[in-house]
Amino acid sequence: MSLQGKRIVVGLGGGIAAFKAVQLVRELMRRGAEVRVVMTEAAGRFVGPITFAGLTGKPAVTDLWAEDYAGEVHVELGEWADAIVIAPATMNLMARATSGQANDAVLATLACARGEVFFAPAMHHRMWSHPATQLNVRLLTERGAVVLGPVTGPLANGEVGEGRMLEPDDIADAVESRLAHTDDLKGTRVLITAGPTHEDLDPVRYLGNRSSGRMGYAIAAQALRRGAEVTLVTGPVQLPAPTGAEVVSVRSAQQMHEAVMSRFDRFDVAIMAAAVADYRPAQRATHKIKKGGGLKLELVRNPDILADLGAKRGSQPSVLVGFALETENLEQAARDKLEQKSADLIVANEASSGLGQDTNRATLVDASSASPLPEMSKRALADQILDRVRALLKHPSRKPRHEAERGAPN
């Protein structure tokens, strides 16, 4: 009964995967949740509202104008729900949700949501890969929604591709994980780096990489949601600042190194998610470099922030997390980095998965294990990382710094 006492609205879009919502409702209820169902008119073409009335004991909401609903049902459900789960989330439904429409029961309830919001997309693989859909997914995620899936598998027309809705048990797991983590990091001080660094060649050019910063920002957002005090040291990105975080903007690796090292002693956890440039130009030109023949650049090493933190913390009870982006020998490279940088956890990504994308496929490597994870949203991965951080903080050898300060003799 892991969702005991939780109130969840399941909203259905009009897609063939709507039949899976029956199993999702049953699974959420089996775990202890109280469930209400809202449906678009199109969803009713695939599964009838009477099915959900039989399961939940409450009528499924299909019409905002129905006379048997007292008051404004979308407002009441939006306020009532700890979470709203849209499954299936069709291309059309997500597009309308992104644009702020509220012209049916599902969208109007979403517009009044006070709790967590989840979308479980289901559509043909070409619809999923369409640029408009990908833009809408990014916007929904940036606004705080969790997008679960889709996965690659058989589709309704017999083709195989990415667009199949996540299985109901997996959706229920994700909802349970998110709802169970409220305030479990309350009072913990977390320092996070995010984004690329830009190493200037001249006043208009720089050396950089394709990091979007979304992973670090997702970790910051999830840490804040779980009650942590967050400082985010960020390179140049095009992302809104997480509400509630202290944000320190930097440009170069040297600036990020200085910002992190000068603050580290105040934190319980340091998560180094930034894609920091390994090298910078030995000299920065004061004027724009003109075209000519060949151009040779002399590069020098940038400071290694993770290694310097590992060396600095000594016996301090902090938790140190690093990231490894590799093209081969992923696990071994992560384990080498774990030992060389004196880190507690390395989040290892293949270069083809995660950099600049909306999802990640990662392996979490610590001193005793390596845990490969399936492809998931950056926010879902952020929670996986924070789960591991929470476990490390509970180790007898560590105590959050604020607790140690309170317990220190006068």
CATH of region 7-180: 3.40.50.1950
Handedness of CA 251, 255, 260, 263 (dihedral sign): negative
Whats the size of the chain, residue-wise? Answer: 410
User: What's domain 189-404's architecture?
Assistant: 3-Layer(aba) Sandwich (3.40)
Cα–Cα dist 247/316, whole Å: 24
pLDDT in the model for residue 268: 94
pLDDT at 308 over 90: yes
Other beta carbons within 10 Å of 342: 16
Average the pLDDT over each of 1-5, 215-219, 250-254, 331-335 and give the range with the smallest value: 1-5
Among the options 92, 103, 136, 209, which is catalytic?
Answer: 209
Residue 142 DSSP one-character state:
H
Local confidence band at 407 (pLDDT 50, 70, 90 cut-offs): very low
Position with higher pLDDT, 64 vs 26: 26
> Which residue intervals of 226-292 are DSSP H helices?
253-261
* pLDDT tens-place string over residues 90-130: 999 999 999 999 999 999 999 999 888 999 999 999 999 99
Local confidence band at 357 (pLDDT 50, 70, 90 cut-offs): low
Domain coordinates in residue numbering, the chain: 7-180, 189-404
Least Cα distance to 246 among 263, 258, 261 occurs for 263
C-alpha separations of 257 from 97, 263, 299 in Å: 40, 10, 18
- Mean per-residue pLDDT, 234-255: 93
Least Cα distance to 192 among 376, 30, 320 occurs for 320
Local confidence band at 67 (pLDDT 50, 70, 90 cut-offs): confident
Would the CATH topology of 7-180 be identical to that of 189-404?
Answer: yes
CB 258 within 8 A of CB 177: no
Local confidence band at 182 (pLDDT 50, 70, 90 cut-offs): low
pLDDT in the model for residue 236: 96
160 burial level (CB within 10 Å; 0-12, 13-18, 19+): exposed
* Active site annotation includes 92: no
Cα–Cα dist 275/221, whole Å: 18
- Mean per-residue pLDDT, 341-351: 90
Contact residues for 143 (Cβ-Cβ < 8 A; gap 6+): none
